[in-house]
């Protein structure tokens, strides 16, 4: 293979934080960055450096969240795009072939780049590599420490510059992040960390970042925009202040019958039936949970009788209101109950969450958290009437406020909260009813001063298109 002189810095033009990461020779690298800060773009440049400069002719591994074809092709396209930039600048094509069946990219210098998913980590056993890159490690439904240790054990080709890179947004003190933090405390030179905020990427439109901030809670902004490592929170809603007047207000729904209101319903099973009355200020568009229907367990003798009984109770509860709700956010798991409610409320849009992304519990919970502690406003966009009971109403159906106080994330084997899952217990019913109500109105400008945003989803609740589009450069 003929020698080719290439100035990768001039071709790729990495910004300061990217350049620091790319220039490090440490064994373990962590690029901890906010959304849009160029994590995957950085990893793709690092891949070129590994396969062309540091470890030419050697095999390397790129592992993403899943081994689905679309996900693997997305990572492969990012890497191929970097080699295309080299070809455009120099006329030299490094790519020999890409085997889509095996997800292997072969270069003319003999380097092999394997694309795998760490959602099934044991599949990565066997082969040995000179280097590896784990993209968005903390978003897969796996033990990140186990994946990191397993891949680290596969970097054992003698005579190579062995390096392991992790690119991700921070998710509290996950085990792998904790490992890097502890290494820094003891000045271990094998570990190197670069942290970048969304603002640090000069290629990212400032208005885009400002738009994200406007739709995030303070905590979410610190984590996902500024890339801060936050102290783990086991409760889902630490934003709610139970004392003082920030989240609780003197409010009587009977005196605000003319306000538009949203109904949230979780149908429950034998128990756990919940309905919420959420009033929307027509001027400020702030939401107030004004009333709740949370029947006790002993009122329901069995499943079928339970459904019929709750229908009767809900109908009587709704008849107390002078006008029907403008929207009813409901649980899609019981279509027969939803059809009944639609026949009862013929002028109301009875809405369930249809797309898989909107149905994700964590997505809906983040919308609520954003409304409870908006980063650009001292006054929450979601509040609660002081008249809502704070004591547990029933052990199987405790009511909204006790549920918000006690709703928790599951924990991993280290005792740290797992931010991808919540406990499926008695506290979820009232929280689900609120989540359905808020998510169902996500695209209603008449009910929001600013439309809530699920970052990464379009207005139809689907994953936004190509992450390397012109709208999201250097992501």
pLDDT at 466: 34
Does residue 143 come out as left (phi exceeding 0), alpha (psi in the -120 to 50 range) or beta?
beta
One domain for residues 260 and 118 = no
Task: Let me know if 418 is exposed, middle or buried by CB neighbors in 10 A (0-12, 13-18, 19+).
Answer: middle
Q: Which residues contact 190 (CB under 8 A, 6 or more apart)?
A: 26, 27, 28, 183
**393: closest CA among 305, 299, 304?**
299
The tokens 């950085």 sit on which residue? 42
Distance of alpha carbon 146 from alpha carbon 266, whole angstroms: 37
State what percent of residues in the chain have pLDDT above 90. Answer: 49
One domain for residues 326 and 415 = yes
Measured in degrees and rounded to the nearest 5, phi and psi for residue 163 equal -140, 145
State pLDDT tens for residues 157-206: 988 899 999 998 887 667 888 889 889 889 999 999 999 999 999 999 99
CB 224 within 8 A of CB 288: no
One domain for residues 97 and 193 = yes
| 316-321: long-range contacts, CB 8 A cutoff, minimum separation 24 | 317/275, 317/293, 318/263, 318/344, 318/345, 321/253, 321/257, 321/261, 321/277
One domain for residues 279 and 413 = yes
Low-confidence winner among 266-270, 443-447, 452-456 (lowest mean pLDDT):
452-456
One domain for residues 61 and 164 = yes
- For residue 214, the domain's CATH number is 3.40.50.300
One domain for residues 294 and 402 = yes
**65: closest CA among 152, 168, 162?**
168
How many domains is the chain partitioned into structurally?
2
Q: In residues, how long is the chain?
A: 475
Residue 461 lies in a domain: no
**Within 13 Å of residue 38, how many CA atoms lie on the same side as its CB?**
28
Residue 341 has pLDDT above 90, yes or no: yes
- Please give the distance of CA 144 from its chain centroid, rounded to a whole number: 16
One domain for residues 208 and 328 = no
Q: Where are the beta strands (DSSP E) in 268-395?
A: 274-280, 287-293, 327-330, 349-352, 382-385
**277: closest CA among 387, 166, 426?**
387
Domain containing 313 equals 248-447
Residue 271 lies in a domain: yes
One domain for residues 396 and 308 = yes
- For residue 421, the domain's CATH number is 3.30.420.280
Q: What is the mean pLDDT of residues 416-444?
A: 85
One domain for residues 212 and 266 = no
Residue 370 lies in a domain: yes
**371: closest CA among 278, 261, 266, 459?**
278
Residue 26 lies in a domain: yes
One domain for residues 97 and 180 = yes
Last residue of a domain, which of 162, 189, 224? 224
Torsion angle (degrees, nearest 10) of CA 176, 182, 186, 191? 20
Distance of alpha carbon 302 from alpha carbon 54, whole angstroms: 68
Residue 472 lies in a domain: no
CB 382 within 8 A of CB 371: yes
SS3 31: strand
* 144-153 vs 175-185: helix crossing angle, rounded to 10: 70
One domain for residues 166 and 276 = no
Residue 467 lies in a domain: no
Furthest CA-CA distance within the chain: 83
State pLDDT tens for residues 19-45: 999 999 999 999 999 989 999 999 999
- Residue 241 — pLDDT band, cuts 50, 70, 90? confident
Residue 190 lies in a domain: yes
Tokens of 474: 């250097």
CA distances from 76 to 82, 102, 289 (A): 10, 12, 47
pLDDT at 299: 67
Residue 456 lies in a domain: no
One domain for residues 185 and 297 = no
């Amino acid at each position: 293979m003929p020698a080719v002189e290439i100035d990768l810095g001039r071709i790729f033009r990495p910004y300061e934080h990217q350049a620091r990461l790319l220039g490090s020779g440490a064994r373990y690298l962590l690029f901890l960055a906010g959304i849009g800060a160029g994590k995957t773009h950085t990893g793709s440049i690092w891949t070129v450096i590994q396969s062309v400069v540091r470890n030419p002719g050697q095999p390397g591994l790129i592992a993403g969240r899943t081994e689905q074809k679309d996900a693997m092709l997305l990572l492969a396209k990012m890497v191929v795009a970097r080699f295309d930039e080299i070809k455009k600048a120099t006329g030299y094509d490094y790519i020999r072939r890409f085997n889509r069946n095996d997800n292997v990219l072969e270069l003319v210098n003999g380097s092999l780049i394997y694309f795998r998913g760490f959602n099934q980590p044991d599949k990565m056993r066997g082969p040995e590599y000179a280097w590896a890159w784990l993209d968005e490690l903390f978003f897969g439904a796996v033990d990140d420490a186990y994946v990191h240790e397993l891949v680290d054990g596969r970097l054992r080709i003698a005579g190579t510059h062995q390096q392991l890179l992790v690119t991700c947004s921070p998710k509290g003190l996950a085990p792998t992040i904790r490992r890097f933090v502890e290494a820094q405390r003891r000045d271990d030179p094998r570990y190197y960390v670069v942290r970048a905020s969304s603002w640090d990427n000069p290629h990212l439109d400032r208005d885009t970042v400002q738009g994200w901030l406007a739709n995030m809670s303070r905590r979410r902004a610190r984590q996902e925009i500024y890339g801060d490592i936050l102290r783990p929170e086991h409760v889902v809603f630490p934003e709610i202040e139970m004392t003082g007047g920030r989240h609780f207000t003197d409010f009587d729904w009977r005196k605000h019958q003319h306000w538009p209101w949203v109904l949230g319903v979780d149908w429950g099973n034998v128990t756990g039936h919940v309905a919420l009355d959420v009033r929307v200020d027509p001027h400020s568009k702030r939401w107030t949970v004004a009333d709740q229907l949370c029947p006790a367990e002993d009122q329901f003798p069995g499943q079928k009788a339970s459904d019929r009984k709750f229908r009767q109770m809900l109908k009587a509860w709704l008849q107390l209101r002078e006008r029907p709700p403008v929207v009813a956010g409901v649980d899609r798991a019981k279509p027969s109950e939803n059809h009944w409610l639609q026949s009862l409320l013929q002028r109301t849009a009875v809405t369930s969450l249809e797309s898989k992304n909107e149905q994700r519990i964590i997505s809906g919970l983040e919308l609520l958290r954003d409304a409870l502690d908006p980063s650009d406003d001292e006054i929450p966009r979601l509040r609660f009437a002081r008249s809502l009971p704070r004591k547990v109403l029933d052990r199987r159906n405790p009511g909204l406020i006790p549920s918000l106080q006690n709703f928790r994330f599951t924990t991993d084997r280290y005792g740290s909260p797992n931010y991808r899952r919540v406990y499926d217990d008695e506290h979820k019913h009232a929280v689900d009813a609120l989540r359905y109500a808020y998510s169902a109105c996500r695209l209603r400008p008449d009910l929001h001063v600013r439309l809530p945003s699920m970052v990464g989803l379009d207005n139809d609740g689907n994953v936004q298109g190509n992450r390397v589009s012109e709208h999201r450069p250097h992501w």
